[in-house]
Amino acid sequence: MSAHRPRRSHEPVVWLLFAAGGMIAAMLLPALIVVIGLAGPTGLLGEGSLDYERVLGLVGHPIGRLTVLAVVSLLFWHAMHRIFHGLHDLGVSTHLDRYRILSYGCALLATVVTAGLLVVL
């Protein structure tokens, strides 16, 4: 008797990216919106706290670049995973492989473009 091995899948990697992006969307994104979108422009953080030179210095540092890349790219992966499964639930994605490649390909392309833009900075 031979033991039947289950077929290998890429789903654990995709679920890891989805879960990490979901954690960022739930925990960090609201704080980033409050700090960058509300507190900074209204002056609650102090004068010059979000000046161009300071933000460029943050993004110019390798750890800052990796952090921005991680946050942005994981949000892309999370969003595209939700869109893919939402289309499937609505019955739009009858050709699962085509929509899977399209959605995860868009997330990969957005990640590569983000990394490229951060390298150019």
**Res 94: pLDDT:** 64
Is the pTM of the predicted complex or chain greater than 0.85? no
**Res 117: pLDDT:** 94
Distance (Å, whole) CA 28 – CA 22: 10
Which domains are assigned to the chain? 11-40+48-120 (1.20.1300.10)
Q: Please report, in tens digits, the pLDDT of each residue of the chain (121 residues total).
A: 557 777 777 778 888 888 999 999 999 999 988 988 888 888 888 887 788 888 889 889 999 999 999 999 999 999 998 988 888 888 876 667 788 888 899 999 999 999 999 999 7
- Is residue 96 a contact partner of residue 88, using CB atoms and an 8 Å limit? yes
Q: Where are the beta strands (DSSP E) in the chain?
A: none
Tokens of 68: 């921005």
Tokens of 1: 């008797």
Distance (Å, whole) CA 113 – CA 86: 25
Distance (Å, whole) CA 70 – CA 114: 10
